[in-house]
Chain A
Amino acid sequence: MLTEVHVPDDLSEALRLVAGGARVLGGGTSLMPRLNDHASTPTELVSLRRVGLAGVRVDGSAVRIGATTTLAELEHDDRVAFLSPVVRSIASVPVRNLATVGGNLFAEQPYGDLTVALVALDARASVLDAAGRREEPVAALAGQHHGLVTELVLEVPAPSTFRYLKATRRRYNSASIVTVAAVVEQTDGVVSAARVALGGVGRQVVRATLVEAALLGQPLDEATVASAAQAGLGQLDPSDDAYASAWYRARVFPVHLRRALLGR
């Protein structure tokens, strides 16, 4: 039974409450449905709404996104326009006005598409706990529930290197069947660097290292992407859910990898 919802207005108080066992509440779009269903039973919540972590700072190519920045704020920020299609693929307007960037890191698959993009973009999270502040790759945060993520740090990708495609059951407001996010750099006609992250195909966001290895040194064409997809299948562990079967997700993956990387 919920006994208290704390709404501290400074970060140190929030940190103290978290250390004492209170569950962090960002926008509430993941946690509140479970509370409303009585399917989750934290007794104390600490809302980060007033701790002053919202906002996007851009300095050259360096981007710092405050953890409580809403998805809607990110969607409408022209300085990070490359993230707008990612955000618009998530849920719906009245949910994006609540959901936070930090909260998306802890959304369970097949949700959490922004995190898929952040892993591909090699974003790092600034985490605060009793031991102090540390920076961790977003990919390493999965499943962690200690400390407070205060900020995401990333670089604006070079022009036309960032790809994102989410296969869904309908155009808007659908969880992922397969989400592909990638940063692919090419030099002299071949792939010189690749980071590929996948959503919808595992219990966590999948960093598709086998796909990346198969792309490196090859021209970015249909044959390369088809063999990279075959290589990547071994890293998938998709689930059956109301949106798609595991079988379907595995079948869709090579097609959507091609569409994401080649645009066709």
Chain B
Amino acid sequence: MTVKIVNLKLNGVDKAFMARPETTLLLGLREQLGMMGAKRGCAQGACGSCTVLLDGSPVVSCLVPAVTVDGSTVGTVEGLSDGQVLSDVQQAFLDGFATQCGFCTPGMIMSAEALLERNPDPTTEEVQEAISGNVCRCTGYEPIITAILDAAARRRGTTAATTPETDEGPPPTTAYESSEGMRADV
């Protein structure tokens, strides 16, 4: 068995990890790089909870052998916020109560980010198609669809995005602290 080094540009930062033949991109992210945003759900490509952006496109990272994507650019939910300021999609999910247990949320958000990158003004049906690979067993999908349409409107400038309010003290000074604060490890 050959262990290989896999280099990634992960959320804009160069990262490297050791991968065995059976190491998927998902396991590399979670177990080697400690990025717990993407979740292991079905490991069949059916639930979408492991969705990340691979060279800009959403993929189910559980089906990607890590050694095949050496040198690629990968985006995960951890890379979306700017310090304490959430991305439009994250903020719209929060404001619209589009999460319940939260397990599907990182994958949903990455699918939504990819949709809005390609199509800034999607219809409800286009949103439904974009998240058709992401299973949510809590919400019934309606709040998620509404949140993604809301995020699209915010990004187009139709509605001003809101920033989270902090109760006390100055905001954290590094992206690392705030991303720790927003992360839901499972």
Stretch at the interface among B42-50, B86-94, B147-155, B160-168: B42-50
Interface residues on B, range: 20 to 34
B114 in contact with A93 (CB, 8 Å): yes
Partner of B68, one of A25, A72, A88, A95: A25
B64 in contact with A93 (CB, 8 Å): no
Rounded to whole angstroms, the CA-CA distance of A49 and B21 in the bound complex is 15
Contacts A5-B68, A49-B68 given; indicate if A95 touches B60 (C-beta within 8 A): yes
Whether A33 is near chain B, meaning CB under 8 Å from some CB there, is yes
B24 in contact with A172 (CB, 8 Å): no
Contacts A72-B57, A93-B58, A97-B58 given; indicate if A33 touches B45 (C-beta within 8 A): yes
A3 in contact with B1 (CB, 8 Å): yes
Whether A127 is near chain B, meaning CB under 8 Å from some CB there, is no
Partner of B129, one of A29, A35, A37, A88: A88
Rounded to whole angstroms, the CA-CA distance of A173 and B141 in the bound complex is 15
Rounded to whole angstroms, the CA-CA distance of A91 and B133 in the bound complex is 7
Whether B51 is near chain A, meaning CB under 8 Å from some CB there, is yes
Partner of A7, one of B44, B67, B134: B67
Rounded to whole angstroms, the CA-CA distance of A95 and B51 in the bound complex is 10
Whether A202 is near chain B, meaning CB under 8 Å from some CB there, is no
Q: How far is the CB of B98 from chain A (nearest CB, A)?
A: 18
Whether B2 is near chain A, meaning CB under 8 Å from some CB there, is yes
Rounded to whole angstroms, the CA-CA distance of A92 and B63 in the bound complex is 14
Which residues of the other chain, B, contact A172 by a CB distance below 8 angstroms?
128-129, 132
Whether B102 is near chain A, meaning CB under 8 Å from some CB there, is no
Closest to B68 in A: A47
Contact with A along B123-157 (1 / 0, CB 8 A): 00000111011100000000000000000000000
Interface size on A, residues (CB 8 A): 30
Interface of B is mostly: mixed
Interface residues of A in 93-123 (CB under 8 A from B): 93-95, 97-98
Rounded to whole angstroms, the CA-CA distance of A95 and B132 in the bound complex is 10
A93 in contact with B54 (CB, 8 Å): no
Which residues of the other chain, B, contact A88 by a CB distance below 8 angstroms?
129
Contact with B along A132-144 (1 / 0, CB 8 A): 0000000000000
Contact with B along A216-246 (1 / 0, CB 8 A): 0000000000000000000000000000000
Contacts A2-B22, A33-B43, A37-B44 given; indicate if A93 touches B132 (C-beta within 8 A): yes
Contacts A7-B67, A29-B63 given; indicate if A95 touches B45 (C-beta within 8 A): yes
Contacts A92-B133, A94-B111 given; indicate if A32 touches B57 (C-beta within 8 A): no
